[in-house]
């Protein structure tokens, strides 16, 4: 029997919508990948905590770690305490460190589980940061704390560095210091200003090509300390150009939530096999985890058409979730987790569930259905109707 509900359109009118009734994507158990694939994972807020959400952070630790176990069960790694976890948008450094500790502890029980953890400078008071030495000390503090837990680092872009750096040489100085000290190879993180306006002009220039030259120079000076670089510029041509110039053995981790399917599939060009394709470190993989796992399994078997058949329909959904203002994409990621029963509520750290409109959620619902990503259709409809009712749409 077809399942239907009433949804608002982009104009604000109400129109009936009938679910497609297709079988949701379910990856086979134990699928093997020929790409490294990290999902940047969201946190589940504690909706019963007596806090002021805009000012204080309360996390449901059990539900948050359970979701990481879900991602590992699908063969995906976890990129922990990143912007998808609302780092810098509600998740503070002490809570981030506790999250990293709990994830690393949980991963010990999961054979082959991958975890890499965000290391930044977000504990610094920007008004008190006067120079790059302050930035270095900030990075070193978080590095020491994460490495003491045995964690692999993702060196996140720093708002503080973007604020005080006067030239590319300041970036070279900071990253030279951090990479020289790293205990194991790190993943560098280049987050475009569409994700965080405070990172405009990162690497010392607004010219992306010149910024790329600086980043590549830093990597070339420390190739043994860099596992790879994740770039989130939403520009596939820039990513392809950069990955072809990476030193041998350094990976490109796509952070392009608009073009990930073709970037992961690759074009076969480059100085070595790893440079003809991109691995993945993506926030959208949190929301589309079953499809990502199933598609990567097909790709590893050489079934490129099946890979695109599974992953292609998720791209319109991702482009919607990451639509401008892109920094609010976390709301769509958590909404998907709620629709699919991975958490019992739709509240977020920092009250961020309020950053998108009802029309946005309605279109997200339709696109998730089109991508076969509503894991329990009747539950998803009930929850969508609950949200509609809260906005005055009954029936």
Residue pLDDT, tens place only, 52-103: 999 999 999 999 999 999 999 999 999 999 999 999 899 999 999 999 999 9
**Which domains are present in the chain?**
34-315 (3.20.20.70)
Closest alpha carbon to 187 in 144, 221, 231: 231
- Cis amide prior to 325 (ω within 30 degrees): yes
Write down the pLDDT at residue 2.
78
Over pLDDT 90: what percentage of the chain?
94
Tokens of 55: 């000012």
Report pLDDT digits (tens) over 191-234. Answer: 999 999 999 999 999 999 999 999 999 999 999 999 999 999 99
Say what angle helices 314-321 and 304-311 make with each other, to 10 degrees. 40
> Strand runs (DSSP E) across 144-240, as ranges?
153-155, 186-191, 226-232
Report pLDDT digits (tens) over 120-132. Answer: 999 999 999 999 9
Confidence tier at 107 by pLDDT (50, 70, 90)? very high
Is the separation of the CB atoms in 232 and 257 below 8 Å? yes
pTM value is 0.96
Phi and psi at residue 232, in whole multiples of 5°? Answer: -125, 80
Element (H, E) at 213: helix 208-221
Q: Rounded to an integer, what distance in angstroms lies between the CA atom of residue 360 and that of residue 371?
A: 16
Q: Is the dihedral of CA 252, 256, 261, 267 positive or negative?
A: negative
How far from the centroid of its chain's Cα atoms is residue 120's Cα? 15
The average pLDDT across 234-248 equals 96
> How many residues would you count in the chain?
395
Kindly give the pairing relationship between strand 115-119 and strand 251-254.
unpaired
The average pLDDT across 22-49 equals 94
Tokens of 253: 């981790």
Q: Rounded to an integer, what distance in angstroms lies between the CA atom of residue 255 and that of residue 327?
A: 14
Confidence tier at 236 by pLDDT (50, 70, 90)? very high
Tell me if residue 155 falls in helix, strand or coil.
strand
Residue 213 class from Cβ within 10 Å (0-12 exposed, 13-18 middle, 19+ buried)? Answer: middle
Report pLDDT digits (tens) over 149-195. Answer: 999 999 999 999 999 999 999 999 999 999 999 999 999 999 999 99
Write down the pLDDT at residue 268.
80
Write down the pLDDT at residue 29.
82
Is the separation of the CB atoms in 332 and 321 below 8 Å? yes
Q: Is a pLDDT exceeding 70 seen at residue 270?
A: no
DSSP 278-327: -EEEESHHHHTHHHHHHHHHHHHTT-HHHHHHHHTTHHHHHHHHT-SSGG
Q: Rounded to an integer, what distance in angstroms lies between the CA atom of residue 192 and that of residue 255?
A: 10
């Amino acid at each position: 029997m077809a399942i239907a509900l009433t949804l608002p359109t982009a104009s604000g009118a109400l129109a009936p919508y009938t679910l497609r009734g297709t079988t949701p994507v379910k990856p086979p158990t134990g699928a093997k990948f020929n790409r490294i694939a990290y999902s940047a994972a969201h946190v589940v807020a504690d909706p019963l905590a007596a806090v002021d959400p805009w000012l204080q952070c309360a996390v449901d630790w059990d539900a948050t770690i359970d979701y990481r176990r879900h991602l590992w069960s699908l063969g995906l790694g976890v990129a922990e305490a990143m912007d998808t976890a609302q780092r810098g948008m509600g998740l503070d450094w002490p809570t981030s460190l506790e999250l990293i500790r709990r994830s690393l502890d949980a991963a010990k029980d999961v054979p082959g589980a991958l975890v890499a953890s965000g290391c930044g400078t977000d504990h610094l008071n920007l008004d008190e940061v006067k120079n790059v030495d302050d930035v270095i000390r900030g990075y070193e503090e978080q590095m020491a704390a994460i490495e003491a837990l045995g964690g692999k680092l993702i060196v996140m872009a720093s708002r503080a560095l973007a604020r005080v750096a006067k030239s590319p040489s300041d970036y070279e100085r900071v990253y030279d210091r951090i990479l020289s000290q790293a205990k194991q190879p790190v993943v560098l993180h280049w987050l475009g200003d569409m994700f965080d306006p405070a990172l405009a002009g990162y690497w010392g220039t607004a010219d992306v090509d010149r910024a790329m030259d600086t980043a590549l120079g830093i990597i070339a000076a420390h190739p043994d300390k860099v596992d790879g670089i994740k770039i989130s510029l939403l520009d596939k041509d820039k990513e392809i150009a950069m990955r072809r110039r990476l030193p041998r053995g350094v990976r490109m981790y796509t952070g392009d939530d608009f073009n990930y399917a073709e970037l992961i599939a690759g074009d076969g060009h480059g100085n070595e096999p790893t440079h003809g394709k991109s691995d993945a470190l993506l926030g959208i993989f949190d929301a589309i985890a079953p499809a990502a796992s199933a598609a990567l399994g097909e790709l590893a078997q050489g079934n490129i058409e099946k890979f695109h058949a599974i992953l292609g329909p998720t791209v319109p959904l991702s482009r919607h979730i990451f639509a401008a203002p892109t920094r609010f994409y976390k709301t769509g990621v958590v909404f998907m987790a709620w629709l699919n029963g991975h958490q019992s509520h739709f509240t977020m750290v920092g009250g961020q569930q309020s950053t998108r409109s009802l029309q946005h959620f309605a279109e997200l619902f339709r696109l998730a259905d089109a991508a076969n990503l509503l894991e329990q259709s009747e539950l998803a409809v009930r929850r969508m109707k609950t949200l509609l009712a809260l906005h005055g749409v009954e029936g």
